[in-house]
Amino acid sequence: MPSYDPIESPDETTIFPYHDLTPPTTRDVYEARAVVRRYLPRTPLVRSESLSAELDADVYLKREDTLPTRSFKIRGFYNLVADLDPEFREKGLITSSMGNHGQGMATAAREFDVPAVIVVPETLENPTKINGMKRLGATVVAHGRDVDEAREHAERRAAEEGYRYVHGGNEPHLIAGRASAGLEVMEDRPEVDVLINPVGGGSSAAAYALTVGKLLGADVIGVQAAGADAVHRAWSGGEIELQESADTFAEGIKTRTPFALPLEIMREHLAEMLLVEDDQIRAAIRRVLADDAVLAEGAAATGVAAALELGDELAGKTVVLPISGSNLSTTKLREILDER
Ligand SMILES: *Cc1c(COP(=O)(O)O)cnc(C)c1O
């Protein structure tokens, strides 16, 4: 059985010798795209008339919610699992997740017939996501009070039991695979000026930064919830620091840890980082549901909330807002709609 000891980590997470922390090159991104294309459809980039009128801009929604498992996370896993070291095929993969990362991993693991273990926090209240992971054949383990405690548990089990530990951010294969979305945007709307994307661990914002930012020269802006701003702090000149707490209903971006690799890419290629309040996120969910018939989960609505906050600054620009996922439980949705 393979077994690896952790090596020195550039952040407060555990990493193993197979975690190469070199940012993906443009070649890596195009190669990953060729893999992703075999398994996933291209997602639509749809103009929002309502947001375009409101902001006096050309606003497009990148509909990542239309992918299998209803989030962008799956893009990375086909690239990672297709290239998995054969010594891990029997033992399988382990990761921690608030649901979408786990559903993405479970789907690709099933495709390649590799076992998948996903550690979620005991507090995760999203049956849509939990049932999704189980239905895909993954073993779901509940541990810890939040995703960072779940992560520490997954890291321990990887060291003790020999799983391939899939990190939430320090995985160039995941970032390169997720960058296929950015290549699609570049082809569909090469005139894009601004792209605003949610940041949890930062893999997706880093992926857009490497494509729409670095290759096309557009401003890629990251956005976090005001109560869960660990990456915002680290990006704005601070040290990489594990925060004491993270507070937001948007569980997809509720994390206390900045990850070194996406942070390095974002420091180089991200134009700006913003914060939005949970109230603004809920208002954005109601808005895109009513006006665009799009269901955005909390994390996915942060870009819309940030665009509304920027307001006049976006006038005359071509703006892309990725709808990163739509796994909102009906209970939560009902609560949000009732608030109006
Ligand atoms: C994970 C997730 C995010 C944040 O992505 P990171 O790559 O972790 O920054 C945003 N939206 C949704 C729907 C997610 O599941």
Please name each of the domains of the chain with its CATH number: 26-70+173-338 (3.40.50.1100), 74-170 (3.40.50.1100)
Residue 221 in contact with residue 195, Cβ under 8 Å? yes
Encoded tokens for 314: 């976006």
Encoded tokens for 85: 């070291």
Residue 302 in contact with residue 250, Cβ under 8 Å? yes
Give the number of other Cβ atoms within 10 Å of residue 139's Cβ. 14
Residue 57 has a pLDDT of 98
pLDDT in tens, 186-239: 999 999 999 999 999 999 999 999 999 999 999 999 999 999 999 999 999 888
**2 CA distance to ligand 1 centroid (A)?**
31
β-pairing verdict for 45-47 and 139-142? unpaired
Contacts 24+ apart (CB under 8 A), 330-336: 330/128, 332/126, 332/249, 333/285, 333/295, 336/282, 336/285, 336/286
Q: From the alpha carbon of 202, which atom of ligand 1 is closest? A: 9
Across all residues in the chain, what is the average pLDDT? 96
Does 252 sit in the ligand 1 pocket, CB within 6 Å?
Answer: yes
pLDDT in tens, 242-283: 899 999 999 999 999 999 999 999 999 999 999 999 999 999
Does 206 sit in the ligand 1 pocket, CB within 6 Å?
Answer: no
Give me the half-sphere count of Cα atoms (radius 13 Å) on the Cβ side of residue 205.
38
**191 CA distance to ligand 1 centroid (A)?**
25
Q: From the alpha carbon of 200, which atom of ligand 1 is closest? A: 9
Closest CA to 6 of 190, 159, 113: 159
Q: From the alpha carbon of 178, which atom of ligand 1 is closest? A: 7
Q: From the alpha carbon of 298, which atom of ligand 1 is closest? A: 13
Residue 1 has a pLDDT of 55
Mean pLDDT calculated for residue range 313-319 = 98
Mean pLDDT calculated for residue range 44-54 = 98
Residue 3 has a pLDDT of 73
Which residue's CA is the closest to the ligand 1 atom numbered 4? 200
Which residue's CA is the closest to the ligand 1 atom numbered 1? 252
- Supply angle C-alpha 262, 266, 268, rounded to 5: 125
Using CA atoms, how far residue 57 sits from 48, 248, 249, 319, in Å, is 10, 29, 29, 7
Residue 130 has a pLDDT of 94
Residue 237 has a pLDDT of 87
Q: What are the φ and ψ backbone dihedral angles of 130, each rounded to 5 degrees?
A: -65, -45
Mean pLDDT calculated for residue range 111-140 = 95
Q: From the alpha carbon of 198, which atom of ligand 1 is closest? A: 10
- DSSP, collapsed to helix, strand or coil, labels residue 326 as coil
Report, in this order, helix, strand and coil percent for the chain, each rounded to 5: 50, 15, 35
Residue 2's pLDDT band, with cuts at 50, 70 and 90, is low
Closest CA to 131 of 156, 108, 106: 106
Residue 238 has a pLDDT of 82
The percentage of the chain sitting over the pLDDT mark of 90, rounded to a whole number, equals 96
Does 203 sit in the ligand 1 pocket, CB within 6 Å?
Answer: yes
Does 324 sit in the ligand 1 pocket, CB within 6 Å?
Answer: yes
pLDDT of 82 over the 90 cut = yes
**51 CA distance to ligand 1 centroid (A)?**
22
**DSSP structure class, residue 216:** T
Closest CA to 205 of 187, 227, 171, 181: 181
Using CA atoms, how far residue 147 sits from 40, 123, 256, in Å, is 27, 9, 8
Pocket mutation for ligand 1, best pick of 98, 148, 174, 324 (most atoms within 8 Å of C-beta): 324
**53 CA distance to ligand 1 centroid (A)?**
27
Cα radius of gyration (the chain): 18
